[in-house]
Amino acid sequence: MKRSFIFAALLCLFSLGANAQIKSAKLTASGLTCSMCSKAIFKHLQKLSVIQKLDVDVESSTYLISFKPDAKVSPDALKKAVEDAGFAVASLQMTASFPRLEVAAGAPVPYGGAYYRILNTSGSQVLEGERTFTVVDKGFLAPADYKKFSAAAGVKAPVEGRVYNVIL
């Protein structure tokens, strides 16, 4: 009985990973002063193999990113590309396609090769279909905005690997 429950839980976890897909992102950079700055970030983001399409709005310093199907998207890789260009991430919103998934408050959720913890939920919640979330970890927000989430984001997750703190 216990073995069949563990097997069913593992099967569910692996099937979730197979269907998990982060489809797109809206990344806003800070510290830009001209179109050459935007171009530098654009070039660094283009080097990421997971990106299918990349558009930039120079006026708002925003990059609209579409990811390749079944790509394992890493928010840290996006942040590193921006930082390698000499700038910082001011915000990162990601849109993902969720199978019907029940999420407990504060529990890390395995998704697309990483873990995500939804900070602005109380009790359990069901994620289904396309949802947009904002990464609220240090380095993904302006320092003043990060302060709002730093206490909740600093909680150690009971899993191994990277856990991203997000809000819906």
For 65-93, how does the pLDDT look when each residue is reduced to its tens digit (9 = 90+)?
A: 999 998 999 999 999 999 999 999 999 99
CB 41 within 8 A of CB 82: yes
Reported residue count of the chain is 168
Residue 111: beta bridge partners?
A: 114
Token reading at 16: 């979730």
Q: What digits encode the pLDDT tens for the residues 17-29?
A: 445 689 999 999 9
| Residue ranges of domains in the chain, CATH in brackets | 19-167 (3.30.70.100)
CA distance 32 to 24: 22
Of residues 69 and 112, more confidence is placed in 69
CB 37 within 8 A of CB 31: yes
CA distance 14 to 12: 6
